[in-house]
Structure 1
Amino acid sequence: MANIKDIARVAGVSVATVSRALSTPSLVRPATIERIEAAIADLNYEPNHLAAGLRRQRSDNVIVAVPSIYNPFTSAFVEGIENVARANKMRVLLGITEGDVDALNKFTSMIAGKQADGLILLEKNLPDIVLNPPAKSKLPPMVAACEYPPDLNLPRVRTDNHEASALIVGHLAELGHQRIAAITGPLDQFMSMDRLSGYKLGLLRARIEFDEALVARGDFSLQSGYDAMVRLLDSGAEFTAVACANDEMAMGAMSALHQRGISVPDEMSVAGFDDLRFGAFAIPPLTTVHIPTVEIGEAAMRLMLDSLLQQDHEGPAREVVLPHRLIVRQSTAAPRKKRKKA
C-alpha cells in the first residue's frame, strides 16, 4: 500500500513538502500541489485521506447557480461539472435561482460559512459581493459560464456566440436565402444579445439588409419559439428561412410551421443553436450550431479547482473560449417553393 514516501518519490518532492502540502497547503506552490495530487491519483491510494488533506478546512462542496432546471442546456452543463467534480472527490450542490439575486447572495453566504467552497454561475445576475466588492477583502472563489458581462474579472468559460450566430446565418445565405428571420432569446441576457449581434453580422457579411420586422423575441423555451413564429407569420413579412437562438425555440417554430401547413425545408428553412441531443431526432432533423455544453461545464469546474488552489491570484482572470461548429441536417435547404400564405 502506498505511503507518504511513495507520494514524495512519484511527485519528485521531499517527504517534508508532501507533509506541508497536507497540513498547510497555502504554504506550497500550486504547481507542486498539482504534482502531489497527480501522484496520489497515480498510486490509486485508498482510502484517499492524503488527497482529502490537500483540501483541509474545505467543505468539498461547490454550488452551481442556474436560473432553471428545465432547459436541456442546463442539464448538459451540470453533467460536465459533475464529471470533473466526481473525479476530484467533490460534491455539486445545485442552486436554482429563478432569477432571484437574493438566492445568489445566500449562496455566497454559504461560502463564507464554510458550507461550500465556491460558486459556479450559469446566470445573468451577479451576487452583490461581485457588484460591490468589500474593501481590502478577496472575493470568494467564483467562476462564470456563458452568461456574463464582457468586463467581468472572474474566471470564465464560454463559446463565441457572436461568430457562431454569424456562421448559421452565413450557411442560410449560401443556400440562397435573402430574407432570413431571427427568433432571439431574452434581450436582457448577454448571451442573447451576442447571438442577435452575430445574426446581424452574418447578414452584413452576406450583404443582406437588416430588417427589424424579421426579428421576433422568445425566451429560449419551446412555447416561445412557437409563439414567435406565429407572430412572424401573422405579420405578413416575407421570409424563407429563420435562425433561432436555441434548438428549443427552433423546435417550437417548426411545430407552428407544421400547423400552418408550411413544409420544412421546402417552403421554410429552420436553423437552431446549441445542438441539443433531441435536435437530430426532429422531423426533419435540425440544422444547428454545435456548442460543447458538457465540455463548458467541465472547463468551469476545472477553473473552480484552479481558483481553490490559487486564491491569492491577482491580475486579469483567466477566460476559456471553446470552439463551435456548424451541423447541417435536413431542416435547411435552398429555397425551392414559394411559401403559401399562412
Structure 2
Amino acid sequence: MSTIRMVSKLAGVSTATVSRALKNPELVATETRQKVMEAVRQSGYRPNQLAKNFSSGRSYNVVVLVPNVANPFFSRVIRGIEQEAQTKGYAILLGDTQGCIEREQEYARMGLTSQADGLIQLDRRFPFSDDDKALAAAVPFVNACERISSDATYPVVELDNRGAARAMGQYLLHCGHKDIAVITGPPDSPIVRDRLSGMQDALLAAGLGLTAERIVQGDFSMRSGFAAAEQLLQQNSLPDAIFSMNDEMAIGAMAALKAQDVRIPDDISVAGFDNIEFSAYTNPALTTIDQPAEAIGRQAMRALYQLMHQLPLPQSHLVLPYELIIRDSTQQKVHS
C-alpha cells in the first residue's frame, strides 16, 4: 500500500509539500503540483478522502451538466474540465442530462446538499428549480459553451459564435457562393441565434439575404442534418452551399446529398462548425470552424475553482477565439 512518504520520494519534495498540494493546491507552484499529482498517479496513493472532506467541509467534487455526453464536441470540453480539475484535487461528477430539465435540477441539487462544491452547466438553462433558486446563489456556478443569459451574474466561458459564423459566411461568399442555406439548431439556443446572425451579417454586407426556405432547423444530431438536407433537396433548386451549425449535422447532410448523387463540393459546398476529430476524415474532409473545446473546459474549471475558494476572477465573461479550417468540402464556384 502506497503512503505519502512514497509520493514525496517520487516527486522529490517533502511530505508537507505533498500534503499541501493535495489539500490546498492553489498554494503550490504549478510545476511542483504537477510533479506531486504524477507521483500520486504512479504510486497509486489514495489519501483518506473522508477525513479530508470532513476536516475541510468540502466534497472535492464538481458536477458537470452536459446535454449529450456522446457528442464529440462536449467530450473534448469535458476532457479539458477533467484535466484542470485533476491538477486542483477535484473529481468530476458527470450529469448526462439529455436536455431533460428534471435531470438537470436533480444533478444541480447536489450542490445544495454538499455532495458537490460547484457546478458547470454546458447547456442553455439555469439548472436550479424555482424552489431551489434562493439557495442556489450560494453554490459556485459557471456557464460554458452555451449562454444562459446575456446579463449573467456568474462566470460565462464561450466562443465568439457570431464572429465565427460571419467569417464562414465571408469565406463562402469569397468562393463565389451567393445562394447559401443554413441548417440551424434549436431556435431557443442563444448560440444558434448568434450563428444565424453572423451568417446574415456576411450576406447583408454583400447585398444578399437569407430566405426563409433556405433556413432549415435541426437539433445538432447527424440524423437531423440528414433530414434537413433532404428537405433542401426537395426545393425547386439546390443552394450553392450549406452551412451547418455543427459538424454532426454537416456530416448527416453530406450523407443525404451523396445518397442522391449530389457531388460535394462540385455541385454544392458543405461547411460545419466545431471541428470535431471526425470532420478531418469525412470524404471529402469537412470545412469547419474550430472551437478550442479543451480550452473552454479548462477555463470553465479555473473560473469555478476561483469561486469555490473565494478568489478574485480575472474575467467574469471570457470569449475565446475561433479558427476557420478550410478543407475539401468547399471550393471556388465556377460560373458558366
In 2, Cα distance between the equivalents of 1:295 and 1:49?
29
CA distance 1:134–1:260, shift in 2 (3 Å): same
Correspondence for 1:11: none
| Paired residue type of 2:68 | S
Q: Does 1:41 align with 2:36?
A: no
**Gaps (5+ residues) in structure 2?**
1-7
Tell me the SS of whatever aligns to 1:242.
Answer: strand
CA distance 1:131–1:79, shift in 2 (3 Å): farther
Q: Does 1:196 align with 2:188?
A: no
Correspondence for 1:331: 329
What is the CA deviation profile of residues 195-230 of structure 1, one whole-angstrom value per residue up to 9, with x for unaligned ones?
Answer: 111111121222212212211111111111111111
In 1, Cα distance between the equivalents of 2:302 and 2:130?
21
Please tell me whether the aligned partners of residues 154 and 317 of structure 1 are also in contact (alpha carbons under 8 angstroms).
Answer: no
Structure 1 ranges of 4+ moved more than 6 A: 4-7, 45-55
In 2, Cα distance between the equivalents of 1:73 and 1:82?
14
CA distance 1:245–1:5, shift in 2 (3 Å): closer
Correspondence for 1:139: 138
Give the drift of 1:117.
1.0
Please tell me whether the aligned partners of residues 130 and 139 of structure 1 are also in contact (alpha carbons under 8 angstroms).
Answer: no
Please tell me whether the aligned partners of residues 68 and 96 of structure 1 are also in contact (alpha carbons under 8 angstroms).
Answer: yes
| Paired residue type of 1:41 | R
In 1, Cα distance between the equivalents of 2:145 and 2:131?
18
Please tell me whether the aligned partners of residues 121 and 127 of structure 2 are also in contact (alpha carbons under 8 angstroms).
Answer: no
Correspondence for 2:319: 321
Correspondence for 1:234: 234
In 2, Cα distance between the equivalents of 1:124 and 1:281?
30
Correspondence for 2:4: none
Tell me the SS of whatever aligns to 2:94.
Answer: strand
Correspondence for 2:81: 81
What is the CA deviation profile of residues 25-80 of structure 1, one whole-angstrom value per residue up to 9, with x for unaligned ones?
Answer: 8xxxxxxx734465862773867969996992111111111122221111111111
Correspondence for 1:282: 282
Give the drift of 1:192.
1.2
Q: Does 1:221 align with 2:213?
A: no
**Greater Cα offset, 214-223 or 69-78:** 69-78
What is the CA deviation profile of residues 159-208 of structure 1, one whole-angstrom value per residue up to 9, with x for unaligned ones?
Answer: 01111011111100001111111111111111111111111112122221
Please tell me whether the aligned partners of residues 61 and 90 of structure 2 are also in contact (alpha carbons under 8 angstroms).
Answer: yes
Correspondence for 1:113: 113
CA distance 1:261–1:86, shift in 2 (3 Å): same
CA distance 1:212–1:89, shift in 2 (3 Å): same
Tell me the SS of whatever aligns to 2:82.
Answer: helix
| Paired residue type of 2:329 | S
CA distance 1:252–1:42, shift in 2 (3 Å): closer
Give the drift of 1:127.
2.2
Please tell me whether the aligned partners of residues 99 and 125 of structure 1 are also in contact (alpha carbons under 8 angstroms).
Answer: no
Correspondence for 1:166: 166
Tell me the SS of whatever aligns to 1:134.
Answer: helix
Normalized against structure 1, the TM-score is what?
A: 0.82
| Paired residue type of 1:34 | E
Please tell me whether the aligned partners of residues 267 and 336 of structure 1 are also in contact (alpha carbons under 8 angstroms).
Answer: no
Q: Percent identity?
A: 35
| Paired residue type of 1:298 | R
CA distance 1:6–1:213, shift in 2 (3 Å): closer
Aligned residues: 315
**Gaps (5+ residues) in structure 1?**
8-17, 26-32
In 2, Cα distance between the equivalents of 1:82 and 1:6?
23
Please tell me whether the aligned partners of residues 184 and 192 of structure 2 are also in contact (alpha carbons under 8 angstroms).
Answer: yes
CA distance 1:141–1:212, shift in 2 (3 Å): same
Correspondence for 1:96: 96
In 2, Cα distance between the equivalents of 1:50 and 1:61?
15
Normalized against structure 2, the TM-score is what?
A: 0.83
In 2, Cα distance between the equivalents of 1:150 and 1:298?
22
Correspondence for 1:12: none
In 2, Cα distance between the equivalents of 1:132 and 1:95?
18
Give the drift of 1:105.
2.3
**Greater Cα offset, 44-53 or 246-255:** 44-53
Give the drift of 1:142.
1.0
What is the CA deviation profile of residues 53-110 of structure 1, one whole-angstrom value per residue up to 9, with x for unaligned ones?
Answer: 6992111111111122221111111111111112222211111222222222222321
CA distance 1:108–1:6, shift in 2 (3 Å): closer
In 2, Cα distance between the equivalents of 1:244 and 1:171?
14
Give the drift of 1:238.
4.5
Give the drift of 1:337.
7.1
CA distance 1:131–1:259, shift in 2 (3 Å): farther
> Alpha carbon RMSD of aligned pairs, Å?
3.1
Q: Does 1:123 align with 2:123?
A: yes
In 2, Cα distance between the equivalents of 1:87 and 1:142?
19
